[in-house]
Amino acid sequence: MENSGIVISSCISQEDDSRYNTKQRTSISQELLLEDEMRRKLKFFFMNPCEKFWARGRKPWKLVIQILKIAMVTIQLVVFGLSNQMVVAFKEENTVAFKHLFLKGYTDRMDDTYAVYTQMDVYDQIFFAIQQYVQLQNISVGNHAYENRGAKQSTMAICQQFYRRGSIYPGNDTFDIDPEIETDCFYVDPMQPFDIGTSEEMKLNFTLDFHRLLTIELRFKLKAINLQTVRHHELPDCYDFTLTIIFDNEAHSGRIKISLDNDIAIRECKDWHVSGSIQKNTHYMMIFDAFVILTCLTSLILCTRSVVKGIQLQREYVNFFLLHFKKEVSITDQMAFVNGWYILIIVSDMLTIVGSVLKMEIQAKFRSLNMVSECLFSLINGDDMFATFAKMQQKSYLVWLFSRIYLYSFISLFIYMVLSLFIALITDTYETIKHYQQDGFPETELHTFMSECKDLPNSGRYRLEEETRKSLFCCCKSS
């Protein structure tokens, strides 16, 4: 009986050993299976769109949307630039025409050096502008008209600003002045006859005290219609021009500078009729802009989804590596899961959406593509910087602020950062490649771990893994 007990106990120990060995082999095989599954998952994550299509038949929707977005945004910018090129050209040509109409003896020049030096010239300039304004519809070759205010038409305002009191005697080195500024205005109705007499009569009706005089402003409004858009299958827009002729005598230097400023407002015409099948393309462009916004929004969602999936896989890989290898993943390997291109695409999509919304709100700011390219290229090379900043007038604080921020950002980014970055990248890349050619390209733990998976994208192993999960899910659901 004792021998039989010993035999029984030895049999039990052998069964325990076999079970332990079986469990150990099972756990090892499961661990190897998990490692192989993780390698395959990582390798699939870092595949390009074509390889993912071969591996699981996934359509490269992000790639297609990016190509479509590039084409649509390019078309959007080109059409927007061509449309607003006519707006800018119409405004600039009208401004030049107004200078020739209302400034006596004006000639085209590159700099703003138009000025007068005698009292008689000041009176001549003022009354010449008044006379031209009254006779505008008889002398202008454009379709300019006065602004209607009910049954009446808008008037021209002639305002002078001067010191309240001023007695100046340079010969005796004495003066007595009250720096408080006063304004005096009178108005000219274009429908009432305005008699232009001799210079002495002008002085009697409109007298200037040049010792106290600061500025003279002639303000009036004109309207016009841009008919050139008809040739481009667009309905003409109506334009409101607010003109201001300024006589600047603030320096009291004996030189009164004269400038003409033209502010423009664009609106749809109230009543129009054009023969033929012309349609208002603005509505179609707004629909196209809406499609651009929708495409960018889709791209934003897909890229955000990819970034989130990358972060989830990063956490899974970090936990797997810590559990099975008792090691922490380096920061470099963790950052490999965050695709920098997706981050840039997300930022680009957000800016494109904002820009498209703003584009739907504005109608003018751009010149021809050639002129814009020349301007930006000149700024990068440091040419015409002062002239560019000096030409920007503070008509609107928002426009002035946006232009300043844009120019400062552009110049700082491309001159101080991008060019220096290109030089640094070229130098560093050259040294790195030279070093790697001598010692070989190093591999990170992540790439070393993935390199053990030899399955090709078209091997079917990636598709089989997905089908196996689906079949297991179906079996669990049926049971």
Pairing, β 145-146 against β 115-116:
unpaired
* Average pLDDT per block of 10 residues along the chain, 479 residues long: 44 50 60 76 79 78 88 84 76 90 84 83 91 89 83 84 84 83 87 56 64 92 84 76 93 91 83 60 72 90 90 86 82 84 90 81 54 65 61 62 75 75 81 74 72 73 54 40
Q: Is 288 exposed, middle or buried (0-12, 13-18, 19+ CB in 10 A)?
A: middle
Q: CA-CA distance, 166 to 249, in Å (whole number)? A: 15
C-alpha span between 157 and 187 (Å, rounded) = 5
Phi, psi of 253 (to 5 degrees): -100, 5
Helix 2-45 / helix 281-324 crossing angle, nearest 10 deg = 150
- State the pLDDT at residue 216: 93
339 backbone dihedrals φ, ψ, rounded to 5°: -80, 115
DSSP 139-198: H-SS--EEPEETTEE--EEEEEEEEEEEEEEGGGTEEEEEEEEEEEEEEE-TTS------
Neighbours of 459 (CB within 10 A): 12
Q: Is 411 helix (H, G, I), strand (E, B) or coil?
A: helix
Q: CA-CA distance, 340 to 342, in Å (whole number)?
A: 5
CA-wise closest residue to 242 among 146, 327, 344: 146
Residues sharing a CB contact under 8 Å with residue 333, sequence separation 6 or more, in sequence order: 444, 445, 446
Alpha carbons within 13 A on the beta-carbon side of 320: 20
Q: What is the pLDDT of residue 7?
A: 42
Verdict on whether the full-model pTM lies above 0.85:
no
